Amino acid sequence: MEDILKRIFDIAKDPYQSVRDWKKAHNKKVIGCYPMYLPEEIIHAAGALPVVI
């Protein structure tokens, strides 16, 4: 449980670090959306990660 809470705290502290980690691990695109009106399923289908800016 402590590991989960630490991960949540770390993501809340620097949310874009988890995005950088995902991009590095998967070697795929990240698409920033503001606001999130685009259906995220389309972005996932393209193999990218949707991120609300």
pLDDT at site 20: 94
In the predicted model, residues of the chain with pLDDT beneath 70 are none
What is the residue-averaged pLDDT of the chain? 93
The rounded distance, in Å, linking the Cα atoms of 35 and 2 is 33
The rounded distance, in Å, linking the Cα atoms of 11 and 26 is 18
Domain boundaries defined on the chain: 2-52
pLDDT at site 2: 92
The rounded distance, in Å, linking the Cα atoms of 24 and 12 is 19
pLDDT at site 27: 96
How is residue 49 annotated by DSSP? E
pLDDT at site 12: 93
CA-based R_g, the chain, Å: 13
What's the whole-model pTM score? 0.73
